Structure 1
Amino acid sequence: MDPLRFAIAAVPLGSYLLLLGLLNLRTRPVLVTGAADLATLGMALTGLIFVGPIALFRPDAATVELGDFVWLFLLAFYWLWVTLAAMLCRPRLVVYNLSAEELRPVLSEAVRKLDGSGRWAGESLVLPQIGVNCHLDTFAWMRNTSLIASGGRQDLAGWRRLGRSVERALRGVAIRPNPRGWLLLGAGVALVAAAMLRLTADPRAVAVSWGQLFAF
C-alpha cells in the first residue's frame, strides 16, 4: 500500500487504539452508551472504508459530475449508515476497565435507587418500573463489561435513567489500571508513527498517490 493510502487507513485506527489504551489505563471506570461506542468504532474504520470499498465502488457517473466532491458525498453516505446502525442497535451501556464481578455490586446499588422491584436472574436484570430488561456481557481479556438489552420491548427513557444512575455510582469506584491498555497504546502509537514516517520519507510517492486518488 502506498504511503498516502496507508496513512489514511492507519491514522484513524491508530487514534482509536490510543483512545482505548488510555481508557483502560485509567484508575476510574468509564461508561459510554452503545451508540457512542459504535459511532467511535465507525470513525476508526473511516480510513479503511475510504481506501477500500469507497474507492473500489466509486460510481464513475457521479465522479464525472461532482469531481473531488464525490468523496464528501460517499463519506457522508457511509456516516449515514453508521448513524442509522447506532440508532437502530439495541440499547446498551459499556463500562471500560471494569469486570462483571466488579460492576455487579455497583449496578445493584444504582438499581436499588431506581426500581425497588428490580431483580437479578443469573446475569440478567429486570427493572419493570422503568421498562428495562437486560443482561451482562463481559469481554474478560480487556476487562470491559456491557449491559445489553434483552428482548425487543425496552423503554429508552428508562435506559437513559439507568445510564445516569450507573454513571453517578461509578464516580466513587477506584480500580487498578488494565495492563493490556499498554498493548493498545503501543499499537496505536506504532500505527500513527509508521504512517507519519512513510509520509515524510517519500514525498514524491505521496504526491503521485494524491494525484491517482483525486485525479478524475
Structure 2
Amino acid sequence: MWFEPFAVVLALLPLAAYLLLLGAVRLFSRPLVTTSGRDLAALSVALVGWLAIGPMELFFPGTAAATLGPYVWLFLLLFFMLSMTLIILSLPPRLIIYGASAGEVLTPLLRAAQRLDPQAELDDAHRQVWMPTLGVRLRVDGHSHFDTSQVAAFEQNLTPQFWQHLLGSLRYEIKTAPTAQRFGGLGMLVFGLLLLSSVMLMVWFQPAEIASGFKQWLWR
C-alpha cells in the first residue's frame, strides 16, 4: 500500500470536522459573522493534519527528536501556531459572513455602521458604506449567488476596537435580516460526511495498523 492508514486518518479527520461544522452553519443556522483571523485560524486547524504528514514529515528535526522524543511534536505545533499568528496579524482585517450574499449584507451593514456613525450612507451601486464622521469607507465583496461575503475597509489604519464594535453591531443587525435559502453548505456536509465515513471505516477495519502507525509517528 502506498499510503499509511494512520496518515490518512490524521489528514482527513480535522478536515472532515471543519467541513461538517461549516456546512451545518451555512445550511441550518442564521448567517454567521466572524473575523478573517478567526476564519483563517479555523482553516489552519482543519489543515493541520495535512501539514503534519507533509511539510513536517519532510523537514522533521530528527536530531531534536532523538533528544526530546515525542515532545518534539509540541515544539513543532508551537512553531505552527506562532507562524499562523504572524500571518493572521499581518493580513488586513475584515469580516467574513457565512450564510448571506453580498447584496443581503448591505442593509444590515448600513444599520451597523449607523450605530458607530449616525451619518453613514449606503452606495448600493458600488456595494459601499461611507462613514463621513469617522472617515471610513467599507465595501462588501462577494458574488450575489454565493452565500459567503466579506466586509473590508479601504483604510488600512483602523483600530481593533473599531472592528470589534462593527462585528458586534453587524451580528446584531443581521439576525433579523431576510436572507434567501441557499444550499451552499449541503455540498460541504456531504463531502464532510464522506470523509468522516472513510475515516471511521478505516479505523474499524484497520485498528492495529492505525495504532502501529501512531506509535511510529510519535516515537522517532
Could you say whether these structures have the same fold, taking a TM-score greater than 0.5 normalized by the shorter chain as the test?
A: yes
Shift of 1:211: 3.5
Query: Is residue 130–residue 155 contact of structure 1 (8 Å, CA) maintained in 2?
Result: no
* Farther off after superposition, 32-41 or 132-141: 132-141
Residue aligning to 1:98: 100
d(CA) in 2 for partners of 1:120 and 1:173?
16
- Root-mean-square deviation over aligned CA pairs: 1.9
Query: Which of the numbers 42, 55, 62 marks the counterpart of 2:44?
Result: 42
Shift of 1:56: 1.5
Query: Is residue 29–residue 173 contact of structure 1 (8 Å, CA) maintained in 2?
Result: no
Shift of 1:195: 1.0
* Secondary structure class of the residue paired with 1:108: helix
Given residue 187 of structure 1, which amino acid in structure 2 is its aligned partner? F
The answer for unaligned runs of 5 or more in structure 1 is none
Shift of 1:59: 1.1
What do residues 51-80 of structure 1 show as CA deviations (whole Å, max 9, x unaligned)?
111121111221111110111110111011
Query: Which of the numbers 157, 160, 163 marks the counterpart of 1:156?
Result: 160
Give matches, 1:1-216, under 5 Å. 1-121=3-123, 122-130=126-134, 132-140=136-144, 142-216=146-220
Identity of aligned residues (%): 31
* Farther off after superposition, 60-69 or 167-176: 167-176
Query: Is residue 27–residue 174 contact of structure 1 (8 Å, CA) maintained in 2?
Result: no
The answer for unaligned runs of 5 or more in structure 2 is none
What do residues 166-189 of structure 1 show as CA deviations (whole Å, max 9, x unaligned)?
111112124344212111101111
Aligned length in residues:
216
- Kindly tell me: are residues 141 and 3 of structure 1, through their superposed partners in 2, closer, same or farther at Cα, counting changes over 3 Å? farther
Shift of 1:209: 1.7
d(CA) in 2 for partners of 1:203 and 1:29?
40
* Secondary structure class of the residue paired with 1:58: coil
Query: Is residue 99–residue 144 contact of structure 1 (8 Å, CA) maintained in 2?
Result: yes
d(CA) in 2 for partners of 1:23 and 1:45?
19
- Kindly tell me: are residues 12 and 63 of structure 1, through their superposed partners in 2, closer, same or farther at Cα, counting changes over 3 Å? same
Shift of 1:162: 1.2
d(CA) in 1 for partners of 2:135 and 2:88?
20
d(CA) in 2 for partners of 1:139 and 1:47?
31
* Secondary structure class of the residue paired with 1:94: strand
TM-score in terms of structure 2 length? 0.89
Query: Is residue 129–residue 138 contact of structure 2 (8 Å, CA) maintained in 1?
Result: yes
* Secondary structure class of the residue paired with 2:151: strand
Shift of 1:83: 1.8
d(CA) in 2 for partners of 1:208 and 1:167?
47
- Kindly tell me: are residues 78 and 27 of structure 1, through their superposed partners in 2, closer, same or farther at Cα, counting changes over 3 Å? closer
